[in-house]
Amino acid sequence: MKEHRIDGIVITHPERVVYPDDDITKQDIADYYAAVMDWFLAGVSQRPTSVLRYPEGIGEKGFFQKHPIRGLQHTEHVRLREESGELDDYICPRSAASIIELVQFGAIEFHPWAARADSLDEADYLVFDLDPAPGLGWSEVVEAARLVKSRLAELALQSFVRTTGGKGLHVVVPLHSSCGWDVAKRFAQGFAHRLEEAQPHAFVAHASRSEREGKIFIDYLRNSRGATSVASYSLRARTGATVAMPLRWTELGKCQGAQDFTIRTARRRLAGLRSSPWEGFDTLRQSLHEALPAVDT
Ligand code: ATP
Ligand code: MN
């Protein structure tokens, strides 16, 4: 059999169908990540990262994995103290070879912490995860994201948007001065509660499912130590092989939904981009310390 090798990693069972409805193979997944690697790697490199693995394809059992897999040779581990107080090793990709190796081990989705391995007690971005209740349309999710953006802007915070590859959107706020998790969490919670107070018919900020009907759930709990969100450019293990795609705010109105960006279409978009849709994300100097009092309770 011909050997399939990417970034020095041998892909075994390259012909295995991982997305049965879409006829997408393990080789297709490795090729996708290899093609978008520079864009993708920037969001996961040197961060503790959980992977969602489906070794037998998405029609079979899948599982999140945060601890290192025996046999990994190109993926660093970071030893960290968990909330329980225990020390444990976490998967921490560092290179293209790490990513392809994890794909070889069945990883499809990548979910990093909002903190770097060398600074685990500080968030370097916030994620507001907007989850629409069943029955809400895409246009309502878009409207919700724009409202979150403008309320953040009132607090002098610039934000960025991405499709998740699923039903909602993520609004992401880069932070580039040290922000402990206590401040990140307090701000995110206060902001979500203020939003619910201002727009009680549109938003719900607490978890009880029964109260979410017809509303957008603004999940602020992504902003605590150890929580993860899907990485930009990660594939999703969902029918259609969608990709979590960063957009310019000006592109959001043209987007019809998560299905606009898939393993088959994302590469073409990236090849045509002259600059990152999240231009400025890495260099913005934003802090929550001035904004916190406005939302804190
Ligand atoms: P959607 O737009 O469909 O909501 P999403 O990526 O926001 O897509 P959610 O179900 O809202 O999906 O989950 C938000 C995040 O929570 C995920 O991106 C993931 O990082 C994290 N998460 C969810 N379930 C788990 C789990 N079992 N283990 C680890 N992380 C999880
Ligand atoms: Mn979500």
Is residue 64 included in any domain, yes or no?
A: yes
Residues 149 and 288 in one domain: yes
| pLDDT reported for residue 3 | 64
Atom of ligand 1 nearest to the CA of 236: 6
| pLDDT value, residue 191 | 98
Q: What is the mean pLDDT of each run of 10 residues along the chain (297 residues)?
A: 78 97 97 97 98 97 96 95 93 97 98 97 97 96 98 98 98 92 96 96 88 93 95 98 98 97 96 94 93 91
For residues 84 and 35, membership in a common domain is answered with yes
Residue 264 domain flag: no
Ligand 2 centroid, distance to 297 Cα (angstroms):
25
32 plus 84 within the same structural domain:
yes
pLDDT for 2 equals 58
Instruction: Decide if 260 is inside a domain.
Output: no
Pocket test for ligand 1, best of 109, 111, 161 (most atoms within 8 A of CB): 111
pTM confidence score: 0.96
One domain for residues 16 and 52? yes
Say yes or no: 144 and 206 in one domain. yes
Torsion angle (degrees, nearest 10) of CA 200, 205, 211, 212? 90
With respect to residue 25, please indicate whether it lies within any of the assigned structural domains.
yes
Domain count, the chain: 2
Residues with Cβ within 6 A of ligand 1? 50, 64, 111, 129, 131, 164, 166-168, 228-230
Is 274 part of a structural domain of the chain?
A: no
Using the mean position of ligand 1's atoms as its centre, give its distance from the Cα of residue 8 in Å.
31
Residue 176 is predicted with a pLDDT of 87
Please check whether residues 54 and 130 belong to one and the same domain: no
- Whether 104 and 131 share a structural domain: no
CA–centroid distance, residue 163 to ligand 2 (Å): 10
Residue 259 falls inside a structural domain? no
Q: Rounded to 10 degrees, what is the CA torsion of 84, 88, 94, 96?
A: -100
Residue 166 forms part of a structural domain? yes
Q: 11 and 146 share a domain?
A: no
Same domain (yes/no): 70, 216: no
In a domain, 232, yes or no: no
Q: Are residues 85 and 142 in the same domain?
A: no
Both 44 and 75 in one domain: the answer is yes
Domain at 8, CATH number: 3.90.920.10
CA 213 to ligand 2 centroid distance, Å: 16
Answer yes or no: do 64 and 194 share one domain.
no
> Which of 44, 47, 64, 232 to mutate to test ligand 1, by most ligand atoms within 8 A of the CB atom?
64
Atom of ligand 1 nearest to the CA of 229: 20
Mutate to test the pocket of ligand 1, among 228, 235, 243 (most ligand atoms within 8 A of CB): 228
Domain residues for the domain of 90 are 4-112
Q: Ligand 1, residue 163: give the atom nearest the CA.
A: 2
- pLDDT tens per residue across span 55-86: 999 999 999 999 999 999 999 999 999 988 99
Ligand of minimum distance to the alpha carbon of 63: 1
> Which residue's CA is minimally distant from atom 26 of ligand 1?
64
